[in-house]
A and B are shown apart, each in its own frame.
Chain A
Amino acid sequence: MAMDVEILEDPKHHRYVLNMGPQHPSTHGVLRVLLELEGEYAMELLPVLGYGHRCHEKIAEHKPVKSFMPNTARMDYLGALIYNHGYAQLLERAAGIEVPERVEYIRVITSELNRIQSHLLWYGAYLLDLGAFTPIMYAFDDREHILDILEDVTGSRLTYCYFRVGGVSKDIDDKFVTSTRAFVKRLRSRFPMYEDLVNGNVILQNRLNDVGELTPHTCARYGITGPLLRGTGVAYDMRRAEPYSIYSQFDFEIPTGTKGDCMASFMVRFHELEQSLRIIEQALDGLPEGPIMTPKVPKKLKIPAGDYNSSVEAPRGELSYYLVSDGSDVPYRLKVRTPSYSNLSVVPEMCQGMLLSDVVSAMGALDLVIPEIDR
């Protein structure tokens, strides 16, 4: 009897463990989060990874460098073209291949379309997690147009394998240009609708404001990049910080927030849609004629011995490839630095002591893509 009283009086024994996932919708994939709850407050959180681990980095060590391209799309299925871009750029840098100008333009246009697509899906799915069902229908309506445009040129709808070392696999035509222009116009005209439907909504405001606050210092400690970092006021975007491809030629802004809470990263992503549209418009205006493939790409691409790096701005943050080569056509080691992995690692600190429903808000704001974390 005395023992029972002891258990009841010890606050540690009031806690119980709840498994969030592996299939909870706010984890968008198979992520499991162990929550130690005290009442409705999450006192400890522990993300459990590895359900979607497919050994991508190890696979890369066993086949010719060019054959790894389809795998990059499967790491982050929402930013597939951007992952293609990073990898193509890595090999081009390593082998010293010059890319025709038209290819760079095509890459930028399709990558930005891909970014918008990713943000729109996040927009819909995040609000779905928060209990608003309608917005995902509007977001998917717009997203469908991008998928159709990209399907027409790349042949697939999600896991694109479009970029090649030294070029792209298929040229874009007038139909692509006109439909992309029409899409840019359409999405712009839909922004006020999104503002009315979602952004001003009082329920959303109350659920996102002051939830999951991050500081630039916390971001630096965990290596958080992307909209979360920009939400804290740091204008760090790989397209500006280390302009790759032809991004230095375009005029666009880096949206930033101030508070670093969920609302800040939400608005950063929303404003990024407009900036991506601006980049697409400028790229379409300046689209040059020319070949879509460098003529001198050897069939068996041998990478000179050494180590190479390539970083791009993925929808969720900074994506880096790091390749160590021993001089053969198979990499000695390929390390992929994916943004979601670092972004997820802040969860135990960020969500400590939060209400369970706020944990959903905060984790949704990270825009996690689990296959990218597990690889």
Chain B
Amino acid sequence: MKSYFSTLFTGAWSLILGLKVTIKALFSPIVTCQYPREKMEVTPNYRGHIDLVKFADTGAHKCISCGSCMRDCPSDCIVVEGEKREGVKGKVLTIFTLDFTKCSLCGACVEVCPTKALDYCNDYELAGFTREEFYFDLLKRVEERE
């Protein structure tokens, strides 16, 4: 009988202790972010999908269409094509597409690039209804960017 009451008491006390924690939390500041009304700042090191970098000194990308990224990609999601043009040294990039549905953001392409022409972007709000929305034309993106 005595142990019955002591169990009852310790049990009830444990519940009161738990409630104390939750009541304290009720009066402590909010820790959540009210997305989408508020947005958190994303660290610049965040790895979004890759993008061609627009260099300030030339106002253009530095891709030499060597295709290293295409060969090193574990998921075969990059397509790079270039062509020889008269009067221009080296190859000129004509196609650079990324199939983001297959990309696993490992960073092999960024690390292998000999001219540092690739970098991660900071887009995280990616949602779409079709697959095609995630086939990115990176060449078009870099030309359109400010």
Contact = CB atoms under 8 A, between A and B. Distances in A.
Interface stretch (B55-63, B91-99, B101-109, B137-145): B101-109
A152 B43 CA distance: 6
B14 A202 contact: yes
A202 B12 CA distance: 8
Contacts of B46: 151, 155-156
B18 A69 contact: no
B107 A161 contact: yes
Interface residues of B, number: 26
A74 B18 CA distance: 36
A68 interface: yes
Contacts of B20: 196
Contacts of A205: 14
A170 B22 CA distance: 40
A141 interface: yes
What does DSSP make chain A's interface, helix, strand, loop or mixed? helix
Given A151-B46, A202-B14, 17 more contacts: A66-B108, A67-B108, A69-B106, A70-B74, A70-B105, A70-B106, A74-B104, A138-B25, A141-B31, A151-B45, A155-B120, A159-B104, A161-B106, A169-B111, A200-B14, A202-B10, A202-B15
29 contacts: A67-B72, A69-B106, A70-B104, A71-B104, A74-B104, A144-B31, A148-B43, A151-B46, A152-B43, A155-B46, A155-B47, A155-B105, A155-B120, A156-B105, A159-B105, A161-B105, A161-B107, A169-B107, A196-B17, A197-B18, A197-B21, A198-B18, A200-B14, A200-B18, A201-B15, A201-B18, A202-B11, A202-B12, A299-B112
Interface of B: 10-12, 14-15, 17-18, 20-22, 25, 31, 43, 45-47, 72, 74, 104-108, 111-112, 120
